[in-house]
Structures are given as structure tokens and as C-alpha cells.
Chain A
Amino acid sequence: MSVTSVDKDLDALTLTLIADFEATAERVWDLWADPRKLERWWGPPTHPATMVDHDLTPGGAVTYYMTSPEGEKYHGRWNITAVDVPTSLEFIDTFADSDGKPVDNMPVSTTQMRLSSHDGKTRMELRAVFDTRAQMDQLLGMGMDEGLKQAVGQMDALLA
């Protein structure tokens, strides 16, 4: 396990996660900067990510989609707000339509990633902030819906 600590601030709607890797900052940075590597860890194994555009410069964007086991595609987009190679990255993470354009009224969160290294090891500090409580609730609502569907499906199976 590389996750060293996790802190959740319910009032500030913020998740702060610290992870330590046995690798140089350049190699950890590469996992973000190389789209072929990024797509190997961004999506869960059940929903692998495919990066479409990948421009890690301020004002640039990363667009991608994740594919469900049923073949459904979920599009996402990062709007890059700050980059300092190879130590920090900040972006606004949002849902997108199939052209990679942001979708209105969908949850938005801001992610800040910072790398610091010493002795060949690298610490990654990640902060994710929900913009508003309503957006957080919406994101939760979608997850909840999935969870409920699964739960109800399992119930159906038990009752059959």
C-alpha cells in the first residue's frame, strides 16, 4: 500500500491524500504526462480509460472516456489550470459530452497534485475539492444510483 494518509474535511468538502512511491518524481510525473501510462491507472479495471486529447499546459485540456463492461462510454475532461513540470499539476475535473466538451450542470471538482522527492522516493500530495455541496451531492447521487441498482439486482437474484 502506497497511501500514507487520507484526510477528509467535511466542511471544506476536501479530500487530501498522501501517497509515497519508491520512484523519482520524474517517473511519477510520467504517469500523468504520458497518456498511454495515464490510461493504465486513471480508470478502474472494470472501466478502463482511453485518453483522447492530452495537453498538460495551462489552458490546455485532457479529454478521455471510460468504457463500462457493457460498452457504455463515460466522457470526462480536465481543464488544466496550472502546471509545473515535474512537481505540480492543477485541473478542474468535469464530465464531458462525446466531443469532449464540458457538460453543464454536472459535478465539478478541482484537483491539485504536488510531488516532492528525496532519496529517490517521491511523495504525492493530492487535494480534491468539490466546488459546491450540490455538485458533491449530485456525484454521490450517481454513485448511489449505481450502488442501489447493484443492491436491487442482488436482491432480485436472491428472490428468484
Chain B
Amino acid sequence: MVVDEQVVDRLLHALADTTRRDIVRRCLVGEASVSRLAESYPMSFAAVQKHVAVLERAGLVSKERSGREQLVRTDVDAVRRARDALDQLEATWRGRVDRMSDLLTERTEDDERDQR
């Protein structure tokens, strides 16, 4: 399991930095060029490039050359992302339904209190 541990270490190291987490998040929505990313952070182009390289080694983003630009995209399986997003929404709604249900049970005192 040495290989797996290396993968996990790289992943955790890659994500243990605010800028790198931000890059992952931004490149989920669409590709961004390294130069455009560099404009958003108070650091040099080279520093941003280093962050992108760390993410690339962890398999979190992929880089593609397009003319003079290097485009960065977060590499997450689309189906898994969809499932995660819907899971998140499901959890939100399960919580809401539970609270709705509670409100409907404790009704009488509440209905009076809510008339204030």
C-alpha cells in the first residue's frame, strides 16, 4: 500500500494550501489560464505555476497548452461530481424536512407564539 499512501500524501499536501484549494475550486467550473490565475493572487506568475505543478502531480488538475496559454482544468470525474452535488442537496433537504416535521408536531404552542 506504499503507492496508495504516496498518492494520498500528495493529495493532502496539494490541498493543504489556501491558494491551491482556490485554484482547484475555480478550475472546476471551467478552464483558466495560468496567467489569468496569476492575476488573481498576490504572487508571481512563477509561484502560481509552482502551485499548479503541485496540483498536477497530485492528479487534481490537468494542464493543456493552447497557443501561448497554458490552460488548467480540475480533473474530477463528471459523474462523481454530479453524484456528490446531488448528495449534498439531498442532505440539505433531509435536514429541512426533519425541521419541517418538528415544527408541525410542536404546533399548538407555536402557532400561538408565532402570532406575536
Q: Is the CB of A42 within 8 A of B15?
A: no
Q: In the complex the two chains form, what is the Cα distance from A144 to B15 in whole Å? A: 11
Q: Is the CB of A41 within 8 A of B99?
A: yes
**With a CB–CB cut-off of 8 A, which chain A residues contact B89?**
15, 109, 128
Q: Is the CB of B104 within 8 A of A21?
A: yes
B30 and chain A: residue at smallest CB distance: A134
Q: How large is the interface on B (under 10, 10 to 19, 20 to 34, 35 or more residues)?
A: 35 or more
Of A109, A152, A155, chain B has the most CB atoms within 10 Å of the CB of A152
Say if the beta carbon of A101 comes within 8 Å of chain B.
Answer: no
Q: In the complex the two chains form, what is the Cα distance from A159 to B28 in whole Å? A: 29
Q: Is the CB of B99 within 8 A of A40?
A: yes
**With a CB–CB cut-off of 8 A, which chain B residues contact A126?**
93
**With a CB–CB cut-off of 8 A, which chain A residues contact B107?**
23, 27
Q: Which label, helix, strand, loop or mixed, suits the secondary structure of the B interface?
A: helix
Q: Is the CB of A13 within 8 A of B97?
A: no
In chain A, positions 39-63 with a C-beta closer than 8 Å to chain B are: 40-42, 44
Q: Is the CB of B86 within 8 A of A2?
A: no
Q: Choose, from A74-82, A83-91, A135-143, the stretch at the interface.
A: A135-143
Q: Is the CB of B104 within 8 A of A141?
A: no
Q: Is the CB of A37 within 8 A of B103?
A: yes
Say if the beta carbon of A10 comes within 8 Å of chain B.
Answer: yes
Q: Is the CB of B90 within 8 A of A8?
A: yes
Say if the beta carbon of B85 comes within 8 Å of chain A.
Answer: yes
Q: Is the CB of B15 within 8 A of A136?
A: no
Provide 21 A-B residue pairs closer than 8 Å at the C-beta atoms, listed in order of the A residue: A2-B100, A8-B83, A10-B79, A15-B90, A17-B93, A17-B94, A19-B97, A21-B100, A22-B105, A31-B104, A41-B102, A44-B92, A124-B97, A128-B93, A130-B85, A133-B82, A141-B25, A142-B25, A143-B88, A144-B84, A152-B15
- Taking Cβ atoms with an 8 Å cutoff, the residues of B that contact A are 12, 15-16, 21-22, 24-26, 28-30, 78-79, 81-90, 92-105, 107, 114
Contacts A17-B97, A137-B29 known; 12 new A-B pairs at CB < 8 A? A8-B90, A21-B104, A23-B107, A27-B104, A36-B114, A40-B99, A41-B103, A126-B93, A134-B30, A136-B82, A141-B26, A144-B28
- Taking Cβ atoms with an 8 Å cutoff, the residues of A that contact B are 1-3, 6, 8, 10, 13, 15, 17, 19, 21-23, 27-28, 31, 34, 36-37, 40-42, 44, 109, 124, 126, 128, 130, 133-134, 136-145, 148-149, 151-152, 155
